[in-house]
Every structure is written in C-alpha cells, then in structure tokens.
Chains A and B, each alone.
Chain A
Amino acid sequence: MNKQKKSSKTLVNFMLGIICFVWLIPAVGLLVSSFRYRESIDSTGWWTEFPHREYQTFITYQLPEDVNLRESIKIEGVEYDDLAIRDGIVREDGSKIVWESRKARLIGVQKKRWSFLPELTFDNYKAVLIGQKYEYTNSAGEISTVQGENLSQAFLNSLAVTIPATVIPVMIAAFAAYVFAWMKFPGRRLLFIIVVATLVVPLQLALIPLTKDYVKLQLNGTFLSMWLAHTGFGLPLAIYLLHNYISTLPRDILESAFIDGASHFTIFLRLIMPLSVPALASFAIFQFLWVWNDYLVSLVFLGASAGKQVLTVQLANLVGSRGQNWYFLASGAFISMALPLLVFFSLQRYFVRGLTAGSVKG
C-alpha cells in the first residue's frame, strides 16, 4: 500500500514536471535568445547555447600554393575533391574534413566534442533601450554602428500611465465602497446596480464615443486621457471587490469611532484604509498588471502621439517594423515583462486572493 502510494506520487511529480517544462520552454527560448549575439540568433536555434556536441577543429592544414583547388586534394594520404569538402566529409573515425577558409587555403579536420560555454551578451538590451546610434560588438569582436530602438522612453511612458492609473481608481473605488458599505442614503441600491451591471461591459463599447469626447476636449494623446479611461474601465470591479471586503469589517469598531465624534473622512483614512490593505493591494496589483499590459486602450488613445507610446504599443510596432530582427524583439519583450513579473512574483499572495474573491472584468 505504502509502496503503491510512493510510486503514484512519483508519477504525479513526473507528469506535473513535464507540464511545467512545456509551459516554461517558450519563454525560456526567448529569454535565452535575448542574450545571444545577433549572428547566432540569425543562424542557429537558441538551444545551441546549452551544452551540446558539435564539430570543433583540432587540426588545420595549410595547402601549399601549387595545389590546384579544382583538382583532387590530398589530406593525410587520402584524396578528396573540392565540392565534397565544401559539404564536409565525414570519415570513418567520426572526424570531419571541411574548409576553414577556402580563400586562405585552410582545411580543418574536426571532431565532435562537447561544447559547454554559451556565448552571451547584453548588447541587445542596450540596443533596444538606447535611441541613438550606438556601437555594436559582435561575438568575433568586430565593431559596427547600428540604429537602436527607444524603449527606455516607452518604459517611462508606461510608468507615467500605469502608476496614476492604478492609484486613482483604488482611491476612488475605496471611497465609493466605503459609502456603499457604511452609509445609508436614498438611491444607494440603484447606484450599486449600475456598478454590478457595468462589471462585464466590454470596453470596446466605450471606445468610439470616448474618442469623440477626447477630440472635443483636446485630451487625445495625453496621459490624463489614459488615467481617466483606465479608471473608468477598472472602477466596477474595484468598487465591487472593495465593497465585498469593506462591508465585512467589524461593525463595532466603526460605531465606537462614530461615538467618539470622528467624521466619516477621518474614519475612512484612519480605520478603513489600514484595515483594507489586503483588498486594496490585491486590486491594485490587478489594475497595475492590467494597465501595464494593456494594448488596445493605449493604441487608441496614445498610439498616434509620437514620444508618448507605452511599451506594449512600441513592442507591437517593433513586431511590424523589425519582425525579422529577433534580437530586438526578444530583448524588447523581456524589457516589457520585467516589471510585471517582479510585481507578480513578489506580491503573488495578494494577487491570488484577489482572483479567488473576484469576478469578471469588462
């Protein structure tokens, strides 16, 4: 019985391990690629950076000047012809004869050996972050000048959009949730029905009218337009989640505060906010990830304004303009992922709690 349990646990671990491996491998592939030299990315798969067996030259022959390359060439007593050497000749002992450089009349004899050392560089990250031309050193040490992409600007734009677009809805929603949970007033039920009804409204519905409003108010292309939009779209879920939490806070604490003569504002700031930190945090993480990763809203409201684009829009533009340049795409993608992954892994607990308490966002 015990033995059977043990073997079934091994099986479970094995299966889960495989699933996890499959889940990770796409991201690992791009991550490894983002640190590879351009020439390597363009010529081989990223997995060649891991230990593998490859042909390495161990003897080099310099052919004398008088050997005619168009006729047969004698190496170690055996005659080969040029065309075959160009394709590489594998001999019986497993070694291989190839041209090291036909121009310099160098022939190499190679053997399969383990290659352990990956060749990695930070240059791709430098390239996407810097806007101007910069000097690029390839794996052979040659220097060339290349035009970079300007993702550092986009990174700052993303920050300028995301931080206020996270804090503002949290603040507004916390006030609203407090009012709904602790104050009695006419219209309370009706107003909350609006909140619940808008929970699943697809934001596409709002884009056309909002574009018109923004053009009229000259808000197009400003950070304010993004904060307002993300606040508006995030509010239903925020109010709903925070109300669920705040309404369960113990009633007697608040009542004793009222008896002491504290105003609603003081109670909200001194009592409700500190007590609601877990709920506030879980919604804030949601909203942060949502805004940082958003593409559609930024594309519509900021996409056309030069210098104001956020990371996702810039990255999508790179896919369009530099679709073949994987050194740009790989490092660009990971620059856009760095901050959300950091936030996610350091605050995972709150995020999960928010999910399990949550509902559907429109």
Chain B
Amino acid sequence: MGQNQKTVKPASNYPIRLFKGILMAVALGGFLYWGFFFLRDSELPKVFTTMFAIVWGVGGMTMIYVVMNWLAENLLPTNLRHRVLPYVFLLPAMLLLLWFLVIPTLRTLVMSFSNKNNTEFIGFANYIAVFTERLMLEAFRNNLLWIMIGTTACIVFGLLVAVLADRSSFENIAKAIIFMPMAISFVGAGVIWKFVFLYEPAGEVQRGLLNAIWVGLGGQPQAWLQMIQPWNNLFLIMVAVWIQTGYAMVIFSSAIKSVPEEILEAARIDGATEIQAFFRITIPVIKNTIITVTTTIVIFMLKIFDVVIIMTGGQYGTEVIATQFYRQFFTNRNQGYGAAISIVLLIAVLPVMIYNLREFGKQETFR
C-alpha cells in the first residue's frame, strides 16, 4: 500500500486544505444541484438525457464518498478522525434507511389513525373499515387463497423439480427453464398468461391456448378470469406459481445436494424405496430450508399486486390487499385508509421480523 503521504504533511497547510475542502464541497454541491435541474428540464434527445442521468447519478454518488473521505482525512485531527470515519461512511446508508423505511413506517402508523387528508384524528375508524368492508374482506379471503394454495404449489413443484433435476440427464437446462420466469417482470408474465387465458365466444376460433385445448377436448369456451368466482383466483395464482417455483427449486436443489449420500445409501440397502428415503430422510434433513422458503413465498404472496392489476384489475372478485391499498391511497386519495391497510401488511410480516431479530441477537460478532 505504501506510505500514507497525508500524515506527513505539515500542519501549517491547514488553512489551504480547509479552503480546498470547501471548494471541493461547493463544486460537488453545485454539480449535483445543476445536474438535477438540467435533467428535469432538459429538451435534449432521449439518448443524451439517459446517458447524462446515468453519469450524473453514478458519478455524483461516487464523488460524494470521495469528497467526504477527503474532508475527514484532511481536516480532522487523527484521533478524532478514527472516531468519526465510521459514521462518515455509514451516513448515506443510514440516512436513506431512516428516510425511506424507518420514519415512513412510523408516519404511516400515525396516519392510519387519521382521516382522508390527515387533518383529523379519528381513532380506529380506518381499522374498523378495513376489517368490515366488503372489498377488504374479499381481499383477505383471496390473499388467504394465494398464500395457502400458491405457497403449497410452489413448494411442491419446487421440491419435485429439484428432485427430478438432480437425477435427470439435463439438470442445468431444466433448472434454467423453470427458473427463467424469475427474470421477467410480473407485468410481462401477466401479459404472457393473459394470452393463454384468452377467450372467444363459442363458435369462433379460440386463440388462447387453454380454451383451444378445452374446446378440443369437447368443452365450451370459458372466460377463465371472469367466470366461476372465487375459483378464477386460481388462474391468477397459477401465474404466481409459474414465477416463483424457480426460486423454491433453486434453494431446494442446493439443499438436497447437501444431504449425505451415505445415509441415503444405507436406507436403500435396508430396503427403503426411493420415495420412503425421500420422505423419511431428505425431507427431515432439509426441514429448515423448507421453512425459510415457505416464509419467503408467503410474504411474496401476501404482497402480490402486479399480477392482479394486469390480469383483472382486481375485478370479478379478485381483489387482494395490495390492490386495495393502491386503490385507496392512489385512486381514492384516502391516505388514512391506505395507511391502515399497509399497517395490516406490516403486522402480517411482524413475526418474520421478530424471528430475524432474534436470530441476529444470537450472532457472536455483534456482542
């Protein structure tokens, strides 16, 4: 690393360094400020604005760290510097965490007890509405369906594919295929599946795959997403299972590979069938992994939003908590009610948060 030249510098340079520091800070501030307005009001072709945005954003952030570090190293006496430096490096992260997650959570909690425009305290009225309104009850019921059926399907398919892939002759290709939907947006996935569920009246050519198969088997064409409530929710859940199974599969796959082969071999010699060995040995060994994956997918299903909005817009009895939140807060501009709904989401994930904190408490490095 070589000698650090800064410590050798004579102290008499301090006023010059101070001046330099102020100059740097002002220049950086000016660049960030000017860039913001330039970007907001720019009439240049899109390609240039995009490039400028990237350079300004990434470069600006880098410069903030460089300048902050320079100031701390050159303007602070050594002993103070060692004490301040950790906070200097942590400052951006902690500021953003506070501004975007911690404080909003508290503010939302306060808002949830207020009226539409947060001008009046109205006690638990929003919460009473949340737990009594018809659409909210529908949303709770649907979210329950999503969590129970969706999560189970993801876990079962994930395990099945992980086990099959492990023994197949094209493991990597199969895993990549099952995993692929995780890379695309829910909006894109919604469009893909909307096309599968496409419905034309009886007698016309069915262009949707599901109806084409259904009619081919002798059925009447169905509007899958609109009819047979509440079972139309299952077709939406199918989309989420298609997306999320890959996640379960990848985690299970690496867990299954860690099951000791000797134990499985011993069971086989004792006459256990493959299925017995799987349920009596593999499953108990990877139990903790299954719990983790289940938790993750339950949270995913709890917050499902995009799929429903794209496929049905929450109509035909497919409303979920997150779409209700969006409608109250964005469409109806009812901030108090929206806040109460999001607090319900928070309460639902609270057990996981407490579990995470408890696990963290066990860590040695932070004692």
List residues of chain A with CB under 8 Å of any chain B CB.
8-9, 12-13, 15-16, 19-20, 23-27, 29-30, 33, 41, 43-47, 152-153, 156-157, 159-160, 163-164, 167-168, 171-173, 175-176, 178-179, 183, 185, 188-189, 191-202, 204-210, 213, 222-224, 227-229, 231-233, 235-236, 239, 247, 257, 260-267, 270, 289, 292-296, 300, 311-312, 315-316, 319, 326, 329-330, 332-334, 336-337, 340-341, 343-345, 348, 352, 355-356, 359-360, 362
Cross-chain contact A293 with B36 (CB below 8 angstroms): no
Which of chain B's residues have a CB closer than 8 A to the CB of A196? Answer: 356-357, 360
Which of chain A's residues have a CB closer than 8 A to the CB of B209? Answer: 25-26, 29, 45, 47
Q: In the complex, how many angstroms separate the beta carbon of A181 from the nearest chain B beta carbon? A: 8
Cross-chain contact B191 with A30 (CB below 8 angstroms): yes
Is there a chain A Cβ closer than 8 Å to B339's Cβ?
Answer: yes
CA distance A171 to B302 in the complex (A): 30
User: Which residue in B7, B97, B185, B193 is a CB contact (below 8 Å) of A312?
Assistant: B185
Cross-chain contact A194 with B102 (CB below 8 angstroms): yes
CA distance A188 to B366 in the complex (A): 8
- B 276-293 to A, binary, CB cutoff 8 A, 1 in contact else 0: 000000000000000000
Known: A164-B53, A168-B57. 8 other contacts (CB 8 A): A12-B164, A27-B192, A159-B50, A202-B342, A222-B36, A235-B93, A316-B309, A356-B250
Q: List 26 A-B contacts (CB under 8 A).
A: A9-B167, A16-B165, A20-B177, A23-B178, A157-B46, A160-B54, A168-B58, A196-B360, A201-B349, A202-B349, A206-B104, A208-B107, A209-B108, A210-B104, A231-B96, A232-B100, A235-B97, A265-B73, A293-B186, A295-B187, A311-B185, A341-B184, A348-B179, A360-B295, A360-B352, A362-B349
User: Which residue in B85, B250, B339 is a CB contact (below 8 Å) of A208?
Assistant: B339
Cross-chain contact B184 with A340 (CB below 8 angstroms): yes
Which of chain B's residues have a CB closer than 8 A to the CB of A29? Answer: 192, 195-196, 209
- B 238-252 to A, binary, CB cutoff 8 A, 1 in contact else 0: 000010000100110
Cross-chain contact A224 with B92 (CB below 8 angstroms): no
List residues of chain B with CB under 8 Å of any chain A CB.
1-4, 6-7, 36, 39-40, 46-47, 49-50, 53-54, 57-58, 61-62, 65, 69, 73, 83, 85-87, 89-90, 92-94, 96-105, 107-108, 111, 157, 160-161, 164-165, 167-170, 173-174, 176-188, 190-196, 205-209, 212, 242, 247, 250-251, 254, 274, 295-296, 299, 302-303, 305-306, 309-310, 322, 325-326, 329-330, 335, 338-339, 341-343, 345-346, 349, 352-353, 356-357, 360, 365-366
